[in-house]
Structure 1
């Protein structure tokens, strides 16, 4: 338990706090991305990562979760670098007022990171799951040890998500108070369609899974009270507060190395006296960080359902999402267009673009998004390239008849695994 922050003695206080910190209203001006990659040895992707080897490769950018004495410098263009429990690397962009500058900064830092790893004989994997190794933790921290132990009785998805998965996250402002519910709805309704279009994780640990996005299947199965989609309602803040407070504690910070939480105790139970001493707002912030739904409000909307893409192909789904959320008219059209597929998360993860109903909705969504790319202020060449790749994706969507190994590139061509 933290002694920092205001003590929470009633559920209504916690609900109000969640609403105030997770839904910050205003004009939608800023955006960001978070890019994750599985890391492999170039000569043998089945070899385990050695923590010392990875730290030597990352040098002064090494996160303190791997080396507590590291200076943990940002990458040269300013993006912070973090690590996931299995050694996956993650670039988190700083907020940007436009997509063009964001792409420039993140691309520069991505290429710098790839260069550092290359010098150490390491490469960024092209898929959103580790296709070569069974999941195993590289980072030894109280948080990740407690998470692994908590997830283990539920099944194998927890350790797979923690140690073998890589996602693409797109972060968008909540928007004006009057638009927030529509933007919340659109971000969720787009989920199955975007998953189907950009699924990129068919294999795990040397074997096909039979799923187009086995990564999303894994995330949804980790621990449903904290990983299933948040209900879409006209009051997103209330829905999210209920979701957070009814989720069991995953970690309980305390002195020493064991952060295991008592089984089945929710944050609401803690407020109600289930644990000694009331929680604080700092405890609630930490609890929120252990929620993994497809869309997570963090003061902005963190859209988490996309598979990592190969190389620089992340720009295509990111641009499509930004374009579809750019104005209220398009947002409303998205909500309507996606209604037939709104709850088909598992079908999207399993079948991808081969499901005819999902493919039909996806083509409608692409028809909305493709013309909007030109309004994002991208350099003409970049906008033309994204538009062309989305157009090819639209033409290809629905043609396949069975789940095949998915690709990271948005144009549907087979990936060659090259790093850029």
Structure 2
């Protein structure tokens, strides 16, 4: 498992460097498979948390790139070792290093978030933990060439609105876990997917988008579902027995989004070109065949809910409040890493293992998802350390009441209006 542990603003997706040319799709598939999952034990946890940056004096305004980078440049060293980056729409992301177990990862992330909140508050900004920006229309502030090329690709693919919302209006809590022993990969990856709808229902926290209630508890998940499934859908096929091969097939079928010549020059691919076609020489992009570095970069433009990166990158959780994200992280990690809890989760989630859209729309309002969620969080709560008792208690109570964080935010918006609700939450007022 590899994480960058510096705290700085830089290019989160460096351009390809010189590497071997790929001579066929078969060669490309072998390259993807070789880097898919890393055989080993389980136990390490890495966290990434995104928060929308809010101007507390004017919640409807997006802080500029210069304002964001100046604030981050003034940060002191982060005690937990997180890296700080800025998403296309100005959301600020903390990416923590892999640490032994969920409690260590949670403690480190909480410490870094405290430093970040203070620095941004001193600059007049708040950090809003919601799965989707509820107030501001999509707008890109990060000038990176990658993101301009992504915009052009989405426009050419007739998903411009969803692509813009995905890039500039969504935020998540991401959990990174060891792949585990190779003889258990199939079951582990299947469970990571099967848990998706239940965990989406538990963590749904984006009932508004662009100033309006959207009819979904997780507008974030709704936005992702509107993008092409070849790039953003689950990677597993019908059986899920060979996640390595399935990831290789997924990657080669997915269309190439951009050709990255250098850090400041990313050329969008505005026609549908599966990477396999480029590798086989049926299409030349940028006047050439791809290299291994091009393929590695292509993998960073694929956004399935569970992405193999030697470890498992679990991407389906909305960003949720500080009071419960530790419990959500602990629950997901425990259900995958603890064998007894994993057995319970496998049985509990089986009836709703593919209910992605239902989970995003109804959250815990669906009785089957609520039943699965109840068993899962109780199983995790039985194993929670004392340090997480309060956060787990709040999560268990919410699930028992059939409420997800979106319900609480919706109530606040109805009582106070969107702008005041946003400002309050961005300042940590609950």
TM-score in terms of structure 1 length:
0.88
Q: State the shift of 1:134 in Å.
A: 0.2
1:90 aligns with 2:90: no
Note the aligned Cα RMSD (angstroms): 2.3
State how far apart, in whole Å, the 2-side matches of 1:287 and 1:370 are.
39
Query: Where do 5+ consecutive residues of structure 2 fail to align?
Result: 1-14, 413-420
Name the CA shift for 1:3/1:106 in 2 (closer, same or farther; >3 Å). closer
Check 1:121–1:326 CA distance in 2 against 1; reply closer, same or farther (3 A cut).
Answer: same
Which residue pairs with 2:362 in the alignment? 351
C-alpha contact 2:138 2:168 (8 A) present in aligned 1: yes
State whether structure 2 residue 314 is matched by structure 1 residue 303.
yes
2:241 alignment partner, SS class: coil
How far residue 279 of structure 1 moved from its aligned partner, in angstroms, is: 1.4
| Conserved 8 A contact 1:37-1:90 | yes
Corresponding position of 1:419? 428
Matched, 1:120 2:123: yes
- In structure 2, C-alpha distance between the alignment counterparts of 1:229 and 1:318, rounded to whole Å: 21
> What is the match of residue 385 of structure 1?
390
Alpha-carbon distance in 2 for matches of 1:83, 1:74: 17
Q: Deviation at 1:406?
A: 4.8
Matches within 5 A, 1:285-304: 285-304=296-315
The correspondence of residues 10-49 of structure 1 with structure 2, limited to 5 A, is 10-49=24-63
1:58 aligns with 2:58: no
Give the structure 2 partner of residue 145 of structure 1: 148
1:228 aligns with 2:233: yes
Structure 2 contact 306–313 (Cα < 8 Å) conserved: yes
In the other structure, the counterpart of 1:316 is 327
Q: Distance in 2 between matches of 1:314 and 1:391?
A: 13
1:368 and 2:379 correspond: yes
Go from structure 1 to structure 2 and tell me whether the alpha carbon gap of 1:357 and 1:312 turns closer, same or farther (over 3 Å shift).
Answer: closer
Give the CA deviation at 1:74. Answer: 6.0
SS at match of 2:290: coil
Whole-Å separation in 2 of the counterparts to 1:408 and 1:306: 21
Partners of 1:148 and 1:17 lie apart in 2 by 28
Q: Deviations over 1:318-344 (max 9, x none)?
A: 010111112334323322221110111
Distance 2:218 2:355 in 1: 13
CA distance in 1, matches of 2:408, 2:149: 34
> In the comparison of the two structures, how many residue pairs are matched?
396
Give the secondary-structure state (helix, strand or coil) at the position aligned to 1:168.
Answer: strand
Does residue 244 of the first structure (1) align with residue 258 of the second (2)? no
Quote the Cα distance in structure 1 between the aligned partners of 2:38 and 2:302: 18
Question: What secondary structure sits across from 2:205 in the alignment?
Answer: coil
CA distance in 2, matches of 1:390, 1:213: 17
TM-score by length of 2: 0.87
Q: Per-residue deviation at 1:60?
A: 4.6
Which runs of 5 or more residues in structure 1 are unaligned?
62-72
